[in-house]
Structure 1
Amino acid sequence: MPVDHIPKPSDGAVTGGFIALYTLAQIGAFVAFIPMLNLLLPLKAEAVDLSGKAVLLSQVMVIGAVVAGFANLAAGVLSDGTRGPWGRRRPWIAGGAVAVAATHGLVYLADGLWSLIAAVVAFQIALNLMFGPLNAVLADRVPDHQKGTVSALQGLALPTAGLFSAVVLAIALGGLAERFLITALAVPLLVLPFALLVPDHSEAGLPATRPRFSLGVLTDRDFRLAFTSRLLVQVSITLNVLYLLFYLQDVATLPSASGATAETAFGWLMTAGTLGGLIFGFIGGILSDRTRRRRVLVMSGGVLMAVGAGLMVAQPVWPGPLLAQIVFGIGLGLYSTVDIALVAEVLPDRSSAGRDLGVMNLAITVPQIAAPLIGLGVLLAFGGELRWVFAISAVFAFVGAIAVMGIRRVR
């Protein structure tokens, strides 16, 4: 039964059924790209070029991120202007979910630099055609007094995807083909129920004019500060995601008695950090609705991420990396969850929510370009010493955390 057939609360709040399916769809969207970035693509780069894996990974990530930025902005503009029986967002969400599954197969089959680049480009286009319109649903459909609660559940998507990557892919499964297949199947299974069962009436009452490509929303001071904060923190996140496995292989001293490999240690670190992020992210989202003080919670999350990245520099001997990733994960869960609600409130115009969130998404995709370049520059400057990459990560997280406190429209 379509979720909108469930009686609606009189205050305009979204229903429990809507929230449940939307949360599952968000988890599916994050499962689409978190395992790809932190495990599948690094392992594929290693399989294609063992000796040059870090450089190859950086090259592929930069090109893919450029494509992702344009694709997400295009998806936002296109879905803002889409009209029809399926509404503005649903056609793009459903079609993108199926395409993401197919492009996982392309990445797996790639056997060289150019085929891997082509596969990642196709993957990023499919991902962002799904992800941009899905993110716009929060601004379209959820009233302000529920944004923190829905964001608390939506914020579970990132750490849950990390848990999927750590437990299912890194620990439970051993073959690269199995890892790609399970991920490809999980995405449409989680995303399509929302796209198929929840009617989209977000275009009701909006002007018939179609939004255009524009970066004009960056002239809004509060939006610009939220963008800057997310941009800086995402550089920190991307550096941690990209180089954690290589850090465990080449820098960390793992417990010799346990016989742990870098991949299994990666799985356990991701699991520990994810569990911390799940708990604190959920609590933070609920508190941000009840207190309506989102900025200080976002700032606290960014500061904790900076502390965690700093511990990676200072304590490479076990259990230092474990403690570092727990602290980083707690900060990431808190920051990412509450920041979702903060950004949804900062948007100046509902009719162009998809486009403006596409602009905001540049704060995620630009770091996917910048972070590999920064990481590569640091590695070249410091003789391949990975600990300096995490030192830079700590600086970006801290500055990004402080930036959010200048926002005025949201407390």
Structure 2
Amino acid sequence: MSRPAAPEALTEPTERAGRGWTAALALANGAIWVGWYGPLQILLALQAAELAPPGTAKESVLAWVTGAGAVVSMVANPLFGALSDRTAARFGRRTPWILAGVLGGAGALVLLAGAGTVAGMALGWCLVQLTLNAAFAAITAAVPDRVPHGQRGAVGGWLGAAQILGVVAGTGLATVAGGVVAGYLACAGFTVLGILPYVLRYRDPALPAGRRPALRLGRVRKVPSFARASQAGLCGHALGALLAGFRISPRRHPDLAWAWLTRFLINLGNALALLYLLYYLRDVLHRPDPDGGVLVLTAVNAVTLLGTVVVAGFWSDRIGRRQPFVLWAGVLMTVATGLLAGWQTWPGALCAAALLGVGFGVFTSVDFALMTQVLPAAADRGKDLGVINIANALPQVAAPVLAAPIVQHLGGYRVLYGVAAAIGLLGALLVRRIRGVA
């Protein structure tokens, strides 16, 4: 008796994704980055300076708030990715989470706008991270659901272009809106509008209710003993199994482990370079308009990134190789970060922004394609990509922990950017350890 065919949602895609679908998904992705980077580039720093208690450094407040949000992000991304894997809604596995996550994120941004204390600011930012990560996990997983291997570099390039445009738009809205509250409200509105073309026009492949995959848990031996266990013991064992379900074994999947570490280190170097950019312009370069300076640097970065992100993705697809692009992108970003350490002038910052854009453009599209090619199982794409996306969120936790003491006690911004350059270079070199993807 022949085995029934797997549902479309659980098979490797073979038909190329259309331009309309790619454009709508890219716009939705960019809208989410508006919701993140309007606050991260401008609004949270201004709010931290306003709300910092007497005797408390604004850098410490910003580090604590962004670090707490990043912890929430690390949990939320794989969790909502796993939930979307198992969603058997009529509109598909991913679309319901994109819509619910963005609506929740907009509400959280409105709440953050009204925060009057550091605790309220931290709570609002954690809610933003929780909800927008639900949407981002679903958007990320939609790519391996719908895009064949040979097109993923190009689609990753368009998503990367939308990402940087979202960063620019978020920074611009936060700068020109007319205050912290207006900036948050503008970012919230843009985030909602940006996802509408995708959720209203496109449906993901539906997962039949009877074929819904189980969430893989850790291996549980002697199942009958559960019935004899105490309630506390049962909960502890079940929690341990659940957490094990989100762990991907480096021994069984070494390529995925090396790819994860590469992404983490390069993103950590980039996070260290960008975290205190507003304060760097204000306190080191003494720019008269540091907010505007951040906007100018972000725009320069965006122009050079847009010049490479899509081209690199197409080029990588065409020659069938990923590693050289990731390696040299990381090296170029290392050089750019080194400029911030060694050439502390406004022209130096402009050159660094341009080089960072070129390097991060190549890295964004090609590394994403590489990651989708080392996923262990089609049924768990959302969960596994959520685990991979921790390599994006964890640097937001690690960067403040490293940056605050370096700036305040261990040599200032020159040392900070030197450390960032070294970390990024190490990440670039480790991509050569991946064996299954050229």
Whole-angstrom CA distance in 2 between matches of 1:203 and 1:362: 26
Whole-angstrom CA distance in 2 between matches of 1:262 and 1:200: 43
**Alignment partner of 1:211 is 2:215:** yes
Identity %, equivalent residues: 31
Whole-angstrom CA distance in 2 between matches of 1:32 and 1:218: 33
Indicate if the aligned counterparts of 1:163 and 1:271 stay in contact, CA closer than 8 A.
yes
Which one of 65, 71, 77 corresponds to residue 72 of structure 1?
Answer: 77
Q: What corresponds to 1:275 in structure 2?
A: 303
Q: What corresponds to 1:368 in structure 2?
A: 396
**Alignment partner of 1:401 is 2:428:** yes
Partner SS, residue 75 of structure 1? helix
- Residues 339-385 of structure 1, C-alpha deviation per residue, up to 9 Å, x if partnerless? 111111111211100110111011111111111101123124325x1
Indicate if the aligned counterparts of 1:232 and 1:400 stay in contact, CA closer than 8 A.
yes
Indicate if the aligned counterparts of 2:268 and 2:398 stay in contact, CA closer than 8 A.
yes
Q: What corresponds to 1:4 in structure 2?
A: none
**Alignment partner of 1:53 is 2:58:** yes
Q: What corresponds to 1:27 in structure 2?
A: 30
Partner SS, residue 156 of structure 1? helix
Aligned residues: 395
Q: What corresponds to 2:278 in structure 1?
A: 245
**Alignment partner of 1:173 is 2:201:** no
Partner SS, residue 200 of structure 1? coil
Whole-angstrom CA distance in 2 between matches of 1:207 and 1:394: 47
1:5-20 → structure 2 map (5 Å cutoff): 12-20=15-23
Indicate if the aligned counterparts of 2:33 and 2:170 stay in contact, CA closer than 8 A.
no
Whole-angstrom CA distance in 1 between matches of 2:89 and 2:379: 16
Q: What corresponds to 1:3 in structure 2?
A: none
**Alignment partner of 1:230 is 2:260:** no
Aligned-pair distance for 1:253?
A: 5.2
**Alignment partner of 1:83 is 2:88:** yes
- Residues 153-186 of structure 1, C-alpha deviation per residue, up to 9 Å, x if partnerless? 011022212221344433x333222211111101
Q: Residues 265 and 209 from structure 1, CA distance in 2 versus in 1: closer, same or farther, beyond 3 angstroms? A: closer
Q: Residues 206 and 335 from structure 1, CA distance in 2 versus in 1: closer, same or farther, beyond 3 angstroms? A: farther
Indicate if the aligned counterparts of 2:153 and 2:313 stay in contact, CA closer than 8 A.
yes
Aligned-pair distance for 1:387?
A: 2.2
Q: Which has more radius of gyration?
A: 2
Residue type at the aligned position of 2:102: A
Aligned-pair distance for 1:109?
A: 0.9
Q: What corresponds to 1:264 in structure 2?
A: 292
Unaligned runs of 5+ in 1: 1-9, 255-259
Whole-angstrom CA distance in 1 between matches of 2:206 and 2:315: 27
Indicate if the aligned counterparts of 2:92 and 2:205 stay in contact, CA closer than 8 A.
yes
1:173-192 → structure 2 map (5 Å cutoff): 173-192=177-196
- Residues 48-76 of structure 1, C-alpha deviation per residue, up to 9 Å, x if partnerless? 12862100001111111111111111101
Whole-angstrom CA distance in 1 between matches of 2:283 and 2:375: 43
TM-score of the aligned structures, taking structure 2 as reference length: 0.86
Decide which moves more: 159-168 or 241-250. 159-168
**Alignment partner of 1:328 is 2:356:** yes
Indicate if the aligned counterparts of 2:113 and 2:185 stay in contact, CA closer than 8 A.
no
Q: What corresponds to 1:377 in structure 2?
A: 405
Aligned-pair distance for 1:11?
A: 5.6
Aligned-pair distance for 1:140?
A: 0.9
Unaligned runs of 5+ in 2: 1-12, 217-244
Aligned-pair distance for 1:241?
A: 2.3
Indicate if the aligned counterparts of 1:156 and 1:278 stay in contact, CA closer than 8 A.
yes
Aligned-pair distance for 1:87?
A: 1.6
Residue type at the aligned position of 1:227: W
**Alignment partner of 1:41 is 2:69:** no
Residue type at the aligned position of 2:197: P
Whole-angstrom CA distance in 2 between matches of 1:23 and 1:280: 16
Whole-angstrom CA distance in 2 between matches of 1:366 and 1:167: 26
Whole-angstrom CA distance in 2 between matches of 1:205 and 1:20: 29
Decide which moves more: 111-120 or 224-233. 111-120
Whole-angstrom CA distance in 1 between matches of 2:405 and 2:329: 27
Q: Residues 99 and 141 from structure 1, CA distance in 2 versus in 1: closer, same or farther, beyond 3 angstroms? A: same
Q: What corresponds to 1:410 in structure 2?
A: 437
Whole-angstrom CA distance in 2 between matches of 1:66 and 1:35: 19
Whole-angstrom CA distance in 2 between matches of 1:56 and 1:91: 35
Whole-angstrom CA distance in 2 between matches of 1:93 and 1:185: 15
Residue type at the aligned position of 1:138: V
Whole-angstrom CA distance in 2 between matches of 1:108 and 1:337: 33
Q: Residues 84 and 159 from structure 1, CA distance in 2 versus in 1: closer, same or farther, beyond 3 angstroms? A: closer
Q: What corresponds to 2:202 in structure 1?
A: 198
Q: What corresponds to 2:8 in structure 1?
A: none
Residue type at the aligned position of 2:248: G
Residue type at the aligned position of 2:274: V
Decide which moves more: 44-53 or 112-121. 44-53
Whole-angstrom CA distance in 2 between matches of 1:93 and 1:168: 22
